[in-house]
Structure 1
Amino acid sequence: MTLMKRLFGNGQADPKLKLVPLYNQIVAKAREPHWYIDGQVPDSLDGRFDMVAAILSLVLLRLEESQVYALDMARLTEVFVDDMDGQLREVGIGDMIVGKHIGQIMSAVGGRLGALRTAMADNSTLDDALIRNLYRGAAPSPEALAHTRQALLDVERALGSQLPDMIVEGDAKW
């Protein structure tokens, strides 16, 4: 690789940029007020992270149904990491420990992905998964839990009715 290419790139757009519209949809869905009002998800940095991680997990679960989207899933995860890196820096986390925090964030997302994979296959475990992963062990009112459960199932159903290509392009309506 020539010095010029290393310094200035190869002139091609970063392939993960095509996933930014989808990531923006994920964040917009996670920021809908009903999660925090009707669902009583804590309206805090942690609560908002938990909602983004939950919606991101549902999207990844939909895309993992076909190995064709493995690279898109990896790139979507990179977009998420880039966003979390920026968020950490914005709240004052320094360069020296950002990597450690990103590692913890990815571990948390992996845990939520596994929990939701299991819970979506067996809805009888969904409430427990939500209490652990969205409410961090502090159960909300039964009405709030029912709202969040149904809203996540609605997101899963809506994603399932969309073509994966449309989801990846950020053009799907879910």
Structure 2
Amino acid sequence: MSFFSKIFSRDNPNAKMQSLYSAIVSEGRQLAWYEEAQVPDSIDGRFDMIAAIFSLVLIRLEKDDDQGQNLAWLTEIFIKDMDGQLRQIGIGDMIVGKHVGRMMGALGGRVGAYRDALEQGADLREAIVRNIFRGEQPDRAALDLLASRLTTYHAALQKCDTDSIIAGQLPASGPVA
């Protein structure tokens, strides 16, 4: 491919991350999160669950120093999707950017909270109440179930090789037991 072909190519360089993003969204939409772990089945609840899975994947991929560009592309896909979702529910052009900016801030906070909890020993249940249940104390059994399931999912991601993750081959979370 010539130099000019590369510069003016219509190929989307982040397309290789689309399979991973689709797998993250699919996992975040698994019914067991909502039915068994009592994550609110609402627009906010679905965002919170997808953001939780997205955060766990980012935490895993950050461990590979050469994944910086892929992480940027994955985040770009997330932003584009959130922008589209907001427009679809009727948020106007004038304020979509502000909403997306808040969502990105929320995502960054979640990544830090889940990293602290899962890798630094902070309280995961506290992070879950704040970031998934938005400060409302859920049923204790549901909270314990969700914490256990996120911990197990995080551990399963650590065992996956990077190429499989990038290809969208995420571990199955399975039903909550």
Task: Provide the TM-score with structure 2 as the length reference.
Answer: 0.90
Match among 127, 143, 146 for residue 148 of structure 1: 146
String of CA shifts for 1:44-78, please: whole Å, max 9, x gaps.
00000000110000000000012110111111000
Match among 22, 25, 48 for residue 24 of structure 1: 22
TM-aligned CA deviation for residue 123 of structure 1: 4.2
CA contact (8 A) 2:153 2:171 kept: no
2:124 and 2:8 mapped to 1: Cα distance?
46
Q: Could you say what secondary structure the match of 1:129 adopts?
A: helix
1:66 and 1:91 mapped to 2: Cα distance?
36
Q: Could you say what secondary structure the match of 2:11 adopts?
A: coil
String of CA shifts for 1:74-132, please: whole Å, max 9, x gaps.
11000000100000000011111111111001000001011001011244511101110
Match of 1:111 in 2: 109
Match of 2:70 in 1: 72
Matched AA of 1:160: Q
Q: How many residues align?
A: 167
Match of 2:84 in 1: 86
2:139 and 2:94 mapped to 1: Cα distance?
40
Task: Provide the TM-score with structure 1 as the length reference.
Answer: 0.91
- The runs of at least 4 aligned residues of structure 1 exceeding 6 Å deviation read none
> What residue ranges of structure 1 are gaps of 5+ in the alignment?
none
TM-aligned CA deviation for residue 23 of structure 1: 0.5
Matched AA of 1:153: T
TM-aligned CA deviation for residue 12 of structure 1: 4.5
RMSD: 1.4
Matched AA of 1:56: F
1:140 and 1:169 mapped to 2: Cα distance?
35
1:67 and 1:100 mapped to 2: Cα distance?
31
2:116 and 2:101 mapped to 1: Cα distance?
23
2:142 and 2:170 mapped to 1: Cα distance?
27
> What residue ranges of structure 2 are gaps of 5+ in the alignment?
173-177
Matched AA of 1:22: L
Percent identical residues: 46
Q: Could you say what secondary structure the match of 1:43 adopts?
A: coil
